[in-house]
Amino acid sequence: MSWLHLIRIHQWPKNLFVLAGLLFGARWQQGGALLHALETLALFCLASSLVYIFNDLHDLERDRAHPRKQRRPLASGAISPLQARVALAAGALLLLLLVWLWQPAATPMLVLYLLLNLGYSLGLKAVPILDLFIICAGFVLRVLAGTRAAEVPASGWILLCTGALAFFLAVAKRRGDVPDEGSGATPTLRGYTPAFLDQLLLLGAGWTILFYGLYCSELNQALAARHNFLWTLPFVLYGVLHYLRLVQVRAGEGRSLLLDWPLALTVAGWLCTCWILLR
């Protein structure tokens, strides 16, 4: 279990953004496109795990002094730094091999993703606003890699929507971490206050809903009026507002995401509706 926690396997669902192009391009029924998208998904799962290992190694001493992060495998001593470094090196070699065998076309996105996260771990996460932009870029790169793998054109609206949603979720996490009495004590949280993050949350929520609505209109044109993709908009509207309520009204519960049953049902309903419309 310590190794699974070290590689953050519970964070792998974030990489499902790689499949967005496959879904909205209605190419999941084509075996080649599906296989390439799944390969790219696996590559980003491995890359993200390497980023988490590097980050934990870099922040080891700081995590040991943190009341919550001291329970992480490295900080608690469940896994030694040497073991983590060996795993990091082996994982990097495996990633290089799999990229060469599976998806050489994903190399630019993966390299940029790794470089951005390397900079994030080495200090850019302490730069307010820029840290949020780096998180957003990571999600946009996932979508770009997935669309390239599935050979689907990357719509500007889906990229904007992805970036807005990632921004909203990143701000929500910051808001859950910053204590109500002021700025946080960790470098990542310095420069943020609850009031400022609340304003950013509203911006992120508005951008997400607006950009998704515009993307729905673009999909309607692509579907030649066979289906109205705006039927999916209520799910997004409810999901964003419900999550906003979790973060602001029921502080701390915004971390749960899909562990919150109304949100899980909303995501399931959205996926089912998308599948019906794109058949």
Domain ranges of the chain: 1-124, 155-279
Cα within 13 Å of Cα(96), Cβ side: 6
Distances (CA, A) of 198 to 201, 205, 208: 5, 11, 15
- Residue identified by tokens 């998180």 is 135
Q: Specify burial of residue 115 (Cβ count, 10 A radius: 0-12, 13-18, 19+).
A: exposed
Tokens of 254: 């915004």
pLDDT at 225 over 70: no
Domain 1-124 class in CATH? mainly alpha
Q: Specify burial of residue 78 (Cβ count, 10 A radius: 0-12, 13-18, 19+).
A: middle
What does the pLDDT look like over 36-47, one tens digit per residue? 889 999 999 999
What does the pLDDT look like over 164-209, one tens digit per residue? 999 999 999 888 777 644 444 566 677 788 889 999 999 999 999 9
Q: How far apart are the first and last CA of the chain?
A: 40
Confidence of residue 250 (pLDDT cuts 50, 70, 90): low
Q: What is the mean pLDDT of the chain?
A: 86
Q: 10 Å Cβ neighbour count for 116?
A: 18
In total, the chain counts a number of residues equal to 279
Helix (H, G, I), strand (E, B) or coil at 262: helix
Angle at which helices 81-101 and 31-58 cross, to 10°: 160
pLDDT of residue 24: 77
Better pLDDT: 257 or 69: 69
Tokens of 219: 């999909």
Q: Specify burial of residue 175 (Cβ count, 10 A radius: 0-12, 13-18, 19+).
A: buried
Helices in 28-72 by DSSP H: which ranges?
A: 31-58, 60-64
Predicted model pTM = 0.88
Return all residues near 210 (Cβ < 8 A) that are at least 6 apart. Answer: 164
What does the pLDDT look like over 50-98, one tens digit per residue? 999 999 999 888 888 877 788 888 888 888 899 999 999 999 999 999 9
CB 37, CB 12: distance < 8 Å: no
Tokens of 245: 């309520």
